């Protein structure tokens, strides 16, 4: 009988050889061939070359090939970057190749590695022991290493961006300026202030790549790449985006990207905060009101432009009123403007801007009204209206003359909503009558009582007014009175 | 006097290696006769579970492919690597992820150890499933091995539970969302209770989910629960049941074998003689009572060989092959570790571990049917096999009874066609909800691709039962259908299901989010 276990002995031999080979291989691979050990041996050679004085010899003698890390419990970080970047605090290493080179600038003087670590500024995976995994742009890690030029985004973790010298944070400063200048706040909220058409941007920098739509983005799929592409062409990155193309240069897009990356409400212990950051936090709780013009520039211009002409908005297929136009300003009362600004215009893209909605301070609403009204003198008050209108007759006049632009029932047309409760509440009879008579200069609203061709007589206008007043029933007015903060207007968010 | 004591001391010192060796090993030397070989077996705690002699068929590689042993080997590997990992792992939602990162980056060969643990765990699930198929197709569950089949089923469930509980521990996105899916599968009875509107009074689904997670969501309570199960409760249960399993193999007469495996003849003293045929339950213990007929005179022995060394060579080689395979896999492929778990960023698609993906595919049709009803039917069905198929025959032989092989192939292709057809239809045309949006959920619970597959497979099996007039063949057809269905569903869900559980030919076609 032939040996029944012969095949097994061969199998055992082969399997055991494979086992031993792979165990030894893994031990060598994981311990002796580790990337960081090679790097440190290189660095020791550099130290040896530079050991020309006592200090240099001492540094060489102290050097050990071993894992090095900065453990910062307060920031929740364990940064092992210094395992390979051995020379960052050695001023003699400015000319050597990376990763051995000295940290550029004088930042480490005030931000020693053993107190701050690396990832609080640079992001990346601090725990990693290879460069690929530390850089972390193609491994599973939420915050990969920031490109060098964007690192200034993280300065505001502990500093107030407004108080840092602009030459140290050029892109961030430019980004902040652009954000105000381009009136991004018309649609986006930041710190509770801003419009409601776009998403709030308070934690934009904390987003990971999984929270952004990367489908139409060319690789690499990083968050900053997304921001850059998005500022150049919002609709190309986010299909159905409501955002208008901000038409920015490459550098401006970069500046805005850095500003977005800086938006991260990161919890950092107070001992790490610069005094100006603490002041900034205090100021956020006790804000200084902006001037009327500043408010208008930051929060109105994206939709209303300079406010002297009516703009046709293609995206929303409606006219945006000329709120600094002479006809409106000269006829509208302060109360009318205040109601419209504070509560918005439901049914349109105009959100409310009161303290509980858009976050403007009461003083700021007042000053922006002053700013609007300063653009034209108020017209003298009209003689009292005496005619009683007939709403049924008004309906047929309305359908013939008004519904084409303002829509049936004064809703959902291309022109401003005049059927909605906020308008009804805010607009006085005088304001309505006067607007119908004189029209709105610089807009599509014609005058219906030009001396040469009076389309509507006084009685007709009184009838239309009577009809308009039927559009909001008693019930809805009561509902409005109970609810001063209207919901944000309908319309998709990007 | 003093001189002799010194000499004695020096003599003892000289003999020390030999005396220590003699003390450790009862036999103390390499066995040279069959008697000593027997002693080598039954004088060793770890070997004495084996009989002294085994039938030569036991050593035939194609009889078992060593699958059960491989499962055991991979369990031992996970046990050892698991203990090493436990030294560094911290079961807290704040620390778990970082501790895995540290194991990966800084613990010496920690990455390799974790990879071994991961791969041997996967290998264990796979070999346990294949071992079950082997036992079924060699009809090795038949009397007196019915109980061991049940123990094996228990071991299968514990193996799955071990792997599943281990899945959560790294506390990364993969873990978090896989367990979220898993716990929602536990919650699936709610689909039924919701449909008939009694969830408010009777909510077994919610109870199961809370029992599993210790909360309504995957959090610290779930993590510590899974940890305790993974490192203590389940391994202990597994080791206990494994002991019973092995002991029963021995007591039930070793590997199942036919009545006359070699034509009833054996070599004996240079001539072929009729084999001495003990009962299947015969044991070799000296004090054991041998039931049945007394050993007949003038007959040859069984076709047996000594366990030492032949069986032990075989077992050791299978063990080392498992080790080698695991090491090679672990060397080249890292165990996955995604981003830190984040409840605000759902994985899409969130997939359960691969062995539950078949169930997840069924759950995507109907949570109750796929997550509870069908698994229960499958487990109960598997448990009943040895009690419904009681006619002896075919034990220890692949497809041992008449026309078993043709029935296997017929069932294989039947199940293949039906399952592929059903899945292709569902992927292309949707199901009831797509056609009748307002249909009552009870209809979908009752009629969905999963339940239809079960009904079709059962009908096929009944057809075989009537036509072939054999319970074994009916069981073969049903088990084959189950295997094919399980494999195809798992394959579909693993490879072809992408974001929002939509069908994609390859993961490279998934929209990047």
Tell whether the model's pLDDT for residue A334 goes beyond 60: yes
Tell whether the model's pLDDT for residue B294 goes beyond 60: no
Mean pLDDT of chain A: 86
- Shortest distance between the Cα of A277 and any Cα of chain B, in A, equals 28
Encoded tokens for A6: 């012969």
The single residue listed with the structure tokens 């060394």 is B309
- Shortest distance between the Cα of A20 and any Cα of chain B, in A, equals 9
Query: What is the percent of chain A where pLDDT is above 90?
Result: 48
Q: Which residue ranges make up each domain of chain A?
A: 37-52+60-145, 151-261, 292-482
Q: Do B367 and B313 belong together in one domain?
A: no
- Shortest distance between the Cα of B498 and any Cα of chain A, in A, equals 14
Instruction: Tell me whether residue B269 is in a domain.
Output: no
Q: Do B204 and B60 belong together in one domain?
A: yes
Q: Quick one: average pLDDT of B365-387? A: 93
Q: Do A4 and B324 touch (CB under 8 A)?
A: no
- Shortest distance between the Cα of B313 and any Cα of chain A, in A, equals 6
Kindly report each contact of residues B96-102 with a partner whose C-beta sits within 8 Å and lies 24 or more positions away, as own/partner: B96/B169, B96/B170, B96/B171, B96/B223, B97/B170, B97/B171, B97/B172, B97/B340, B97/B341, B98/A78, B98/A127, B100/B169, B100/B170, B100/B171, B100/B172, B100/B337, B101/A127, B101/B337, B102/A127
What is the crossing angle of helices A458-469 and A429-438, to 10°? 130
Tell whether the model's pLDDT for residue A480 goes beyond 70: no
Query: What is the CATH class of A292-482?
Result: mainly alpha
Instruction: Tell me whether residue B1 is in a domain.
Output: no
Residue to mutate among B106, B107, B271, with most A CBs inside 10 A, is B106
CA atoms within 13 Å, Cβ hemisphere of A488: 15
Q: Do B333 and B394 belong together in one domain?
A: no
Burial of A288 (0-12, 13-18, 19+ CB in 10 A): exposed
**Total domain count, chain B:** 2
The single residue listed with the structure tokens 């019915």 is B146
Out of A19, A213, A221, name the one closest to residue B324 (CB). A19
A312 interfaces chain B, CB cutoff of 8 Å: no
Q: Quick one: average pLDDT of B41-49? A: 86
What is the crossing angle of helices B449-468 and B357-365, to 10°? 110
Question: B157 near B264, Cβ under 8 Å?
Answer: no
Q: Quick one: average pLDDT of B469-479? A: 94
Confidence of residue A474 (pLDDT cuts 50, 70, 90): very low
Strands A189-190 and A77-79: unpaired
Residue to mutate among B50, B105, B170, with most A CBs inside 10 A, is B105
Number of inter-chain CB pairs under 8 A, A vs B: 101
pLDDT for residue B289 = 42
pLDDT for residue A493 = 34
A19 interfaces chain B, CB cutoff of 8 Å: yes
Among B98, B120, B107, B215, which Cα is nearest to B166's?
B120
Query: What is the percent of chain A where pLDDT is above 70?
Result: 93
B187 three-class SS: coil
Q: Quick one: average pLDDT of B194-219? A: 91
pLDDT for residue B377 = 95
Q: Do B513 and A213 touch (CB under 8 A)?
A: yes
For residues A318 and B265, the model is more confident at A318
Encoded tokens for B339: 């981003």
Instruction: Tell me whether residue B495 is in a domain.
Output: yes
pLDDT for residue B55 = 84
pLDDT for residue A317 = 82
pLDDT per residue as tens digits for the range B51-72:
888 888 888 889 999 999 999 9
Out of A30, A78, A217, name the one closest to residue B111 (CB). A30
Rounded to 5 degrees, what angle do the CA atoms A447, A451, A453 make? 70
Q: Do B421 and B513 belong together in one domain?
A: yes
Please state, in angstroms and rounded to a whole number, the distance separating the CA atoms of residues A385 and A350: 31
Closest B-chain CA to A12: B317
A129 interfaces chain B, CB cutoff of 8 Å: yes
Q: Quick one: average pLDDT of A111-118? A: 93
Residues of chain A neighbouring B313 (CB-CB closer than 8 A): 5, 8-9, 12
Q: Do B339 and A31 touch (CB under 8 A)?
A: no
Q: Quick one: average pLDDT of B180-192? A: 89
The single residue listed with the structure tokens 């709403």 is A391
Query: What is the percent of chain B where pLDDT is above 90?
Result: 63
B21-25, B381-385, B501-505: the lowest-pLDDT one = B21-25
Closest A-chain CA to B59: A4
Q: Do B324 and B435 belong together in one domain?
A: no
Question: A56 near A69, Cβ under 8 Å?
Answer: no
Tell whether the model's pLDDT for residue B83 goes beyond 90: yes
Out of B56, B111, B317, name the one closest to residue A12 (CB). B317
Q: Do A25 and B331 touch (CB under 8 A)?
A: yes
Q: Do B305 and A127 touch (CB under 8 A)?
A: no
Among B125, B38, B108, B117, which Cα is nearest to B76's?
B117
Question: B262 near B301, Cβ under 8 Å?
Answer: no
Same fold: A151-261 with A292-482: yes
Instruction: Tell me whether residue B4 is in a domain.
Output: no
Q: Do B251 and B376 belong together in one domain?
A: no
Strands A70-72 and A318-320: unpaired
Q: Do B316 and A12 touch (CB under 8 A)?
A: yes
pLDDT for residue B268 = 60
pLDDT for residue B262 = 64
Q: Quick one: average pLDDT of A188-197? A: 91
Please state, in angstroms and rounded to a whole number, the distance separating the CA atoms of residues B277 and B265: 10
Q: Do B374 and B417 belong together in one domain?
A: yes
Q: Quick one: average pLDDT of A88-112? A: 91
pLDDT for residue A378 = 67
This complex has an ipTM of: 0.88
Instruction: Tell me whether residue B356 is in a domain.
Output: no
Out of B101, B305, B324, name the one closest to residue A18 (CB). B324
pLDDT for residue B88 = 96
Out of A11, A27, A129, name the one closest to residue B106 (CB). A129
Q: Do B334 and B185 belong together in one domain?
A: yes
Instruction: Tell me whether residue B352 is in a domain.
Output: no
Beta bridge partners of A79: A70
For residues A451 and B127, the model is more confident at B127
Instruction: Tell me whether residue B434 is in a domain.
Output: yes
Strands A193-194 and A77-79: unpaired
Tell whether the model's pLDDT for residue A479 goes beyond 70: no
Encoded tokens for A262: 């800086």
Tell whether the model's pLDDT for residue A367 goes beyond 80: yes
Tell whether the model's pLDDT for residue A462 goes beyond 90: no
Mean pLDDT of chain B: 89
Confidence of residue A429 (pLDDT cuts 50, 70, 90): confident
Q: Do B195 and B251 belong together in one domain?
A: yes
Confidence of residue A325 (pLDDT cuts 50, 70, 90): confident
CATH value at residue B317: 1.20.810.10
A206 interfaces chain B, CB cutoff of 8 Å: no
Please state, in angstroms and rounded to a whole number, the distance separating the CA atoms of residues A323 and A332: 10
Q: Do B201 and B342 belong together in one domain?
A: yes
pLDDT per residue as tens digits for the range B408-421:
999 999 999 999 99
Domain region containing B484: 361-513
- Tell which CATH classification among 1.10.1330.10, 1.10.760.10, 2.60.40.10, 3.40.47.10 matches the domain A151-261: 1.10.760.10
How far, in Å, are A44, A131, A138, A329, B448 from residue A99 at the CA level? Answer: 13, 10, 20, 64, 60
A128 interfaces chain B, CB cutoff of 8 Å: yes
Residues of chain B neighbouring A218 (CB-CB closer than 8 A): none
Q: Do B341 and B381 belong together in one domain?
A: no
Residues of chain B neighbouring A83 (CB-CB closer than 8 A): none
Q: Do B144 and B169 belong together in one domain?
A: yes
The single residue listed with the structure tokens 């530079």 is A50
């Amino acid at each position: 009988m032939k040996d029944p276990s012969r095949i097994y002995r061969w199998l055992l031999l082969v399997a055991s050889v494979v086992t031993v080979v792979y165990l030894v291989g893994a031990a060598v691979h994981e311990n002796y061939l580790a990337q960081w050990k090679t790097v440190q041996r290189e660095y020791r050679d550099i130290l040896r070359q530079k050991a020309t004085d006592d200090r240099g010899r001492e540094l060489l003698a102290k050097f050990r090939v071993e894992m090095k890390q900065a453990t910062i419990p307060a920031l929740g970080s364990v940064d092992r970057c210094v395992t390979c970047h051995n020379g960052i605090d050695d001023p003699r290493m400015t000319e050597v190749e990376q990763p051995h080179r000295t940290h550029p600038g004088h930042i480490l003087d005030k931000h020693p590695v053993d107190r701050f670590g690396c990832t609080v500024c640079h992001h990346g995976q601090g725990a990693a022991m290879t460069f690929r995994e530390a850089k972390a742009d193609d491994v599973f890690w939420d915050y990969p290493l920031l490109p060098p030029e964007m690192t200034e985004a993280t300065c505001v973790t502990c500093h107030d961006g407004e108080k840092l010298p602009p030459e140290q944070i050029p892109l961030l400063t430019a980004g902040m300026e652009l954000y105000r200048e381009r009136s991004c706040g018309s649609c986006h909220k930041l710190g509770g202030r801003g419009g409601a058409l776009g998403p709030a941007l308070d934690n934009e920098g904390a987003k990971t790549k999984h929270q952004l739509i990367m489908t139409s983005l060319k690789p690499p799929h990083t968050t900053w790449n997304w921001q850059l592409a998005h500022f150049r062409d919002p609709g190309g990155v986010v299909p159905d985006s409501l955002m208008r193309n901000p038409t920015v240069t490459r550098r401006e897009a970069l500046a805005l990207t850095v500003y977005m990356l800086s938006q991260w409400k990161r919890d950092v212990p107070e001992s790490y905060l610069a005094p100006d950051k603490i002041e900034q936090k205090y100021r956020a709780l006790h804000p200084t009101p902006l001037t009327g013009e500043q408010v208008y520039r930051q929060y109105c211009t994206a939709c209303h432009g300079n406010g002297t002409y009516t703009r046709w908005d293609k995206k929303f297929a409606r006219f945006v009123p000329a709120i600094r136009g002479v006809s409106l300003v000269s006829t509208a009362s302060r109360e009318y403007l205040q109601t419209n600004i504070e509560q918005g215009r439901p049914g349109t893209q105009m959100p409310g801007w009161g303290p509980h909605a858009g976050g403007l301070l009461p003083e700021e609403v007042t000053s922006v009204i002053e700013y609007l009204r300063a653009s034209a003198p108020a017209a003298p008050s009209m003689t009292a209206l005496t005619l009683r209108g007939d709403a049924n007759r008004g309906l047929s006049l309305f359908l013939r003359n008004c519904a084409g632009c303002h829509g049936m029932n004064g809703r959902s047309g291309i022109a401003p909503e005049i059927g909605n409760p906020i308008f009804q509440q805010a607009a006085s009879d005088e304001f309505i009558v006067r607007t119908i008579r004189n029209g709105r200069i610089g807009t599509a609203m014609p005058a219906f009582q030009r001396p040469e061709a009076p389309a509507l007589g006084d009685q007709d206008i009184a009838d239309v007014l009577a009809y308009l007043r039927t559009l909001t029933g008693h019930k809805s007015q009561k509902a409005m009175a109970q609810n001063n903060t209207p919901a944000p207007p309908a319309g998709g968010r990007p | 006097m003093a001189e002799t004591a010194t000499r004695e001391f020096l003599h003892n010192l000289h003999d020390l290696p030999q005396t220590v060796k003699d003390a450790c090993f009862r036999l103390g030397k390499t066995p040279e006769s069959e008697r000593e070989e027997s002693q080598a077996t039954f004088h060793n705690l770890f070997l004495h579970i084996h009989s002294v002699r085994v039938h030569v068929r036991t050593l035939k590689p194609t009889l078992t492919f060593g699958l059960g042993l491989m499962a055991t080997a991979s369990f031992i590997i996970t046990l050892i690597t698991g203990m090493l990992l436990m030294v560094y792992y911290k079961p807290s939602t704040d620390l778990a992820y970082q501790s895995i990162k540290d194991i990966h980056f800084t613990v010496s060969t920690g990455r390799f150890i974790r990879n071994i643990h991961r791969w041997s765990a996967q290998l264990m699930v796979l070999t346990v499933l294949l071992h079950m198929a082997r036992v079924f197709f060699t009809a090795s569950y038949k009397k007196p091995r019915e109980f061991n089949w049940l123990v094996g089923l228990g071991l299968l469930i514990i193996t799955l539970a071990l792997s599943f509980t281990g899945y959560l521990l790294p506390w990364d996105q993969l873990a978090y969302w896989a367990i979220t899916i898993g716990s929602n599968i536990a919650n699936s009875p709610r689909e039924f209770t919701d449909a008939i509107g009694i969830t408010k009074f009777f909510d077994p689904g919610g109870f199961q989910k809370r029992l599993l997670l210790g909360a309504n969501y995957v959090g610290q309570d779930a993590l510590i629960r899974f940890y305790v199960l993974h490192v203590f409760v389940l391994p202990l249960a597994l080791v206990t049941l494994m002991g019973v399993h092995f002991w029963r193999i021995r007591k039930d007469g070793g590997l199942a074998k036919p009545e006359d495996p070699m034509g009833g003849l054996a070599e004996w003293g240079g001539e072929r003689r009729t084999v001495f045929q003990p009962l299947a339950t015969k044991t070799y213990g000296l004090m054991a009572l041998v039931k049945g007929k007394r050993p007949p005179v003038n007959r040859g022995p069984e076709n047996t060989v000594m366990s030492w060394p032949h069986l032990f060579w075989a077992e050791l080689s299978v063990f080392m092959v498992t080790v080698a395979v695991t090491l090679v896999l672990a060397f080249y492929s890292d165990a996955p570790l995604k981003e830190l778990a984040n409840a605000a960023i759902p994985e899409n698609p969130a997939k359960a571990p691969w062995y539950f993906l078949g169930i997840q595919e069924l759950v995507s049709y109907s949570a109750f049917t796929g997550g509870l009803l069908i698994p229960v039917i499958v487990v109960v069905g598997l448990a009943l096999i040895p009690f419904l198929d009681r006619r002896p025959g075919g034990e220890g032989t692949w497809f041992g009874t008449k026309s078993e092989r043709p029935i296997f192939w017929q069932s294989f292709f039947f199940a293949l066609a039906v399952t592929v057809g059903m899945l292709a239809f569902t992927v292309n045309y949707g199901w009831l909800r797509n056609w009748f949006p307002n249909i009552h959920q009870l209809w979908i619970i009752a009629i969905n691709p999963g339940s239809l597959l079960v009904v079709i497979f059962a009908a096929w099996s009944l057809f075989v039962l009537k036509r072939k007039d054999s319970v074994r063949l009916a069981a073969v057809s049903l088990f084959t259908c189950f295997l094919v269905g399980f494999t195809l569903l798992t394959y579909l869900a693993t490879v072809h299901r992408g974001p929002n559980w939509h069908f994609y030919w390859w993961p490279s076609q998934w929209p990047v989010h």
